[in-house]
Structure 1
Amino acid sequence: MAADPERSTPDGDESLRLLSLVERSVTQRLDEALRAHGGGIDQWRILSLLVERGGCPMNVVADHAMLLAPKLSKLVDRMVSANLVLRRTDEHDRRRVLIAATTRGRAALAAWDGASATVQQEFRDILGPDAALLDDLLRRLSHGLTRSPAAAQRS
């Protein structure tokens, strides 16, 4: 059976398949590097946000870490037990709980950032001068996909 030329073009399924394969590979390498330092991707994302912004409500953390609320709650419970984060009541809205990084969480993040930098350097080495182009293309794609449907139709 001959291959369908429409399906083998760069604009067809192949680019979507390649994007999925690359995402899977990046996630696996990053997760292995972080696990070697006692962490994981979700914990790394959470602490990165908390160190950058300070205390954040759970819904903001869930969006940033790309986790559903039940999984985030369990992970935050484990992170509290490990003294990586703490929960505190929001001073402005006593009904809301914020999560913040602890000193131990900041130290863990420093080690995890080093591990992630090593993985990022691997990709820069593979891509050479095209690494900046890839970053730009991924930002544009992400921005375009996250725009509202109404804005996308006006483009």
Structure 2
Amino acid sequence: MISQADLLIGSIIHRVAQLIRTRIDEEVRPHGLTRLSWLAASHVDQAPGLTLSDLAARLELGNATTGKLIDRMVAAGWVDRRASDSDRRAQVLMPTAKGSGAVEELRPVGARLREHILVDLTAEERALLEALLMRIKARLDAMAE
């Protein structure tokens, strides 16, 4: 049986994540992006030539979901999709000027959001929170394998 304490921690983590996602979406929407498309554009900008599968793994999404996201992003000019030089079956994702510009423009927005979200925590508390959440994530990832 699941205890009240177990339900509470899961509910709190879920609600905090939901509030963070909503806040990020509100900040990036005026730039024509969503939180997920901003994250995808950032990954492509940082690692040009990613395959769709590489990006899906980084976003922790399935290939079909990532493919639909990329279809929308290509149509909007945020990223470009090209045939791979090394594997004719694969396509690689490349940043566009529009996408790279948005990633650069949103860099201070991300920093401001991070500070706003964590303002009540000391540097030590921030580090501890991140370490604890990463430990929980690692355990859950291992259980899923």
| TM range, smaller chain | 0.7 to 0.9
Higher helix share: 2
**1:123–1:131 CA contact under 8 A, matched in 2:** no
Task: Quote the Cα distance in structure 2 between the aligned partners of 1:149 and 1:43.
Answer: 26
The letter of the residue matching 1:125 is: V
Distance (Å, rounded) in 1 between the aligned partners of 2:33 and 2:20 = 16
> Scaled by the length of structure 1, what TM-score is found?
0.81
Identity over aligned pairs, percent: 26
CA distance in 2, matches of 1:73, 1:149: 23
TM-score in terms of structure 2 length: 0.86
1:124 to 112, 118, 123: 118
RMSD: 1.9
Question: How far has the Cα of 1:148 moved from its partner?
Answer: 5.7
Give 5+ residue unaligned stretches, structure 1.
1-5, 151-155
- Say yes or no: does 1:135 pair with 2:130: yes
Contact 1:62/1:69 (CA < 8 Å) preserved in 2? yes
Cα shift at 1:33: 0.9
Is 2:19 the counterpart of 1:25? yes
Of 55, 60, 83, 2:54 maps to 60
Letter in 2 for 1:73: G
Residue of structure 1 aligned with 2:65, choices 64, 71, 90? 71
Residue segments in structure 2 that go unaligned for 5+ positions in a row? none
- C-alpha distance in structure 2 between counterparts of 1:134 and 1:59, whole Å: 30
